[in-house]
Structure 1
Amino acid sequence: MQPNLQHSTKPAVESNRGFQVWWQMTRPHTLTASFVPVLLGTALSLSHGRIHFGLFFAMLIASLLIQAATNMFNEYYDYKRGLDNENSIGIGGTIVRDGIKPKTVMQLALSLYGIALLIGVYICMSTSWWLALLGLVCMAVGYLYTGGPFPIAYTPFGEIFAGFFMGMLIILISFFIQTGTVTTYSILVSVPILVLVGAINFSNNIRDLDGDKENGRKTLAILLGKNKAVTLMGYMFIFSFIWILGLIITGVAPIWTLIVLLSIPKALKAIKGFKSGVTPIQMAPAMKATAQTNTIFGFLLAIGIFLGYFVS
């Protein structure tokens, strides 16, 4: 059953009109999951020559638009299926709290997709039209994550799809548009970001475990149970750090990338937060810390790559 908006959202509509409502709809705290892969893929391309900043910014904007649109699809379909209400944690809340019409949210999401498509045409004209196929697949996954008859978000595979399409694949596309190729080097360095972007999705599912279970979802967090899910998240963090250490030891990554270890405190904060938290609102800071771990880790990794290129 969909929530009744007649009484609950009217005050919010009158007091919250403006840019902030529309900005919140994009769930800005999640957008770094798009920024980091583009930055890292571009940093990796330095070993092949100069950076084409026009393509860098085009890829960055397109990725951010697709991420924002995906968040709006999520909001639209969770509302339509009766999963969101005024008290839901972690949502944009533009429909259930601010009174924006669901149709408007969907139209805006599709408009962002349209702009991303136009930017994609520029990228393809400058590089390869094969990217058009990849771009369309990414956009389809963004929609099908919560849309369609069999939403990916309702299955145990959400983390895999999020990590691959919003982590590794964006890195490799960003690398390709600068270099015209994909190398073993770029694939190996993208692996921990695949894991950490998947961890962001996983943290959301851990926080929402009880509510998702009541609504018939079969997420990985539900299948494992909270304690095992938090333990697995800890292993995901450990794997990411050990992977970089392995790349340094084998000479694949420069020693400068060791600075990713500075993101360890955020990872520890996330794990401690999930272990101590019981309700969604208590676990919200842990989810934020998970997203920040990916942001700091990825940003520091990119800096390490840059330093390895310019200092060596």
Structure 2
Amino acid sequence: MQTETKTSYNPVTPNKGWKVWWKLTRPHTLTAAFVPVLLGTALAIHETKINLGLFFAMLVASLLIQAATNMFNEYYDYKRGLDNEESVGIGGTIVRDGVKPKTIMQIALGLYGVSILIGVYICMNTSWWLAAIGLFCMIIGYLYTGGPLPIAYTPFGEIFAGFFMGMGIILISFYIQAGTITVTSILVSVPIFILVGAILLSNNIRDLDGDKEFGRKTLAILLGRKKAIYLLASMFTVSYIWVFVLMMMSYSSAWMAIVVLSAPKAIQATKGFIGKTIPIQMMPAMKATAQTNTIFGFLLSIGLFLDYFI
């Protein structure tokens, strides 16, 4: 296993310094935090007048927590020896750019600190019950790759990621605007629950061989690559069917059908994994999975806005 003492650190040069720190946040994952906030707010516009201050506060806090979670991931995967200079899909600030692990942890905790301050503002304008919920979500974000038994190393990673970074953020974003949780808000959040979980599943399909070598017990490992790809395709399918079922049950309007425009990305993601075993070959499929969640969520939000304004 790698340790800090065995690594020679290269100082981050000024001309690429900001790029290193930006890459550390894993920006391609940040839409997973942005989309639920937007969708929760789009749902709330049907119930009340939107408070833009609370919207932006929730958005910033969610982005900071997502970035911090990515940094915890970077730190603990390095400490456990999973990351090296050849690792695919990581920020690489430790193993490639020479940033000290201690610095990564300090930045992550600092982002958590700023998120707490923003959370205080949100609670002052809504309910202090959110403080307990927010702190619990932050603990889960840390335990995702930290602690003695990281959630990401178990078969339950997809469920935790989907619930807390998908449905949880949607419902909190809805609550801080509307002051309540409705059946519709819960039902509409389900596809994002599934698609955020799909992002993690795609990551685990890509890393299946390496994760197995290091003793992880992810869902992809337990199912095997072929069945995991079938599950991914099923998650995409259920997400689209769910929206049309909501339309038929009058929980949403026909405008929601606009989500079908994101279907080509879901198909691209599924096909991109078939027959692939080398991580770098699966990167486009993993990217397409994340893009499916982003485009699907945006389109769902647009459908809600169109239903309200038209």
Normalized against structure 1, the TM-score is what? 0.97
Superposed CA offset, 1:115-168 (max 9, x none): 000000000000000000110010000000000001001100000000000000
Q: Do the aligned partners of 1:66 and 1:139 also contact (CA within 8 Å) in 2?
A: yes
Partner of 1:214: 213
Q: What SS does the aligned partner of 1:48 have?
A: coil
What is the total number of aligned residue pairs between the two structures?
A: 308
Partner of 1:69: 68
Partner of 1:289: 288
CA distance in 2, matches of 1:239, 1:138: 26
Q: What SS does the aligned partner of 2:46 have?
A: helix
Partner of 2:80: 81
Partner of 1:261: 260
CA distance in 1, matches of 2:295, 2:204: 21
CA distance in 1, matches of 2:207, 2:168: 27
Q: What SS does the aligned partner of 1:97 have?
A: coil
- Offset at residue 18 of structure 1 (A): 1.4
Which amino acid in structure 1 is aligned with residue 34 of structure 2?
F
Superposed CA offset, 1:34-62 (max 9, x none): 00000000000011121100000000000
Partner of 2:7: 5
Partner of 1:238: 237
Q: What SS does the aligned partner of 2:205 have?
A: helix
- Offset at residue 14 of structure 1 (A): 4.0
Q: What SS does the aligned partner of 1:166 have?
A: helix
CA distance in 2, matches of 1:289, 1:15: 33
Partner of 1:105: 104
1:179 matched to 2:178? The reply is yes
Structure 1: tracts of 5 or more residues without a match:
none
- Offset at residue 221 of structure 1 (A): 0.2
- Offset at residue 17 of structure 1 (A): 3.9
Q: Do the aligned partners of 1:263 and 1:296 also contact (CA within 8 Å) in 2?
A: yes
Partner of 2:301: 302
CA distance in 2, matches of 1:308, 1:142: 34
Partner of 1:142: 141
Partner of 1:118: 117
Which amino acid in structure 2 is aligned with residue 5 of structure 1?
T
Normalized against structure 2, the TM-score is what? 0.98
CA distance in 1, matches of 2:13, 2:170: 42
Q: Do the aligned partners of 1:153 and 1:219 also contact (CA within 8 Å) in 2?
A: yes
Q: What SS does the aligned partner of 1:47 have?
A: coil
- Offset at residue 94 of structure 1 (A): 0.3
- Offset at residue 22 of structure 1 (A): 0.2
Q: Do the aligned partners of 1:45 and 1:178 also contact (CA within 8 Å) in 2?
A: yes
Q: What SS does the aligned partner of 2:166 have?
A: helix
CA distance in 1, matches of 2:238, 2:221: 22
Q: Do the aligned partners of 1:16 and 1:98 also contact (CA within 8 Å) in 2?
A: no
Partner of 2:249: 250
Q: Do the aligned partners of 1:206 and 1:229 also contact (CA within 8 Å) in 2?
A: yes
Q: What SS does the aligned partner of 1:159 have?
A: helix
Superposed CA offset, 1:41-96 (max 9, x none): 00000111211000000000000000000000000000000000001011000000
- Offset at residue 5 of structure 1 (A): 3.0
- Offset at residue 276 of structure 1 (A): 3.1
Partner of 2:28: 29
Partner of 2:38: 39
Q: What SS does the aligned partner of 2:274 have?
A: helix
CA distance in 2, matches of 1:169, 1:62: 13
Q: Percent identity?
A: 71
Structure 2: tracts of 5 or more residues without a match:
none
1:163 matched to 2:162? The reply is yes
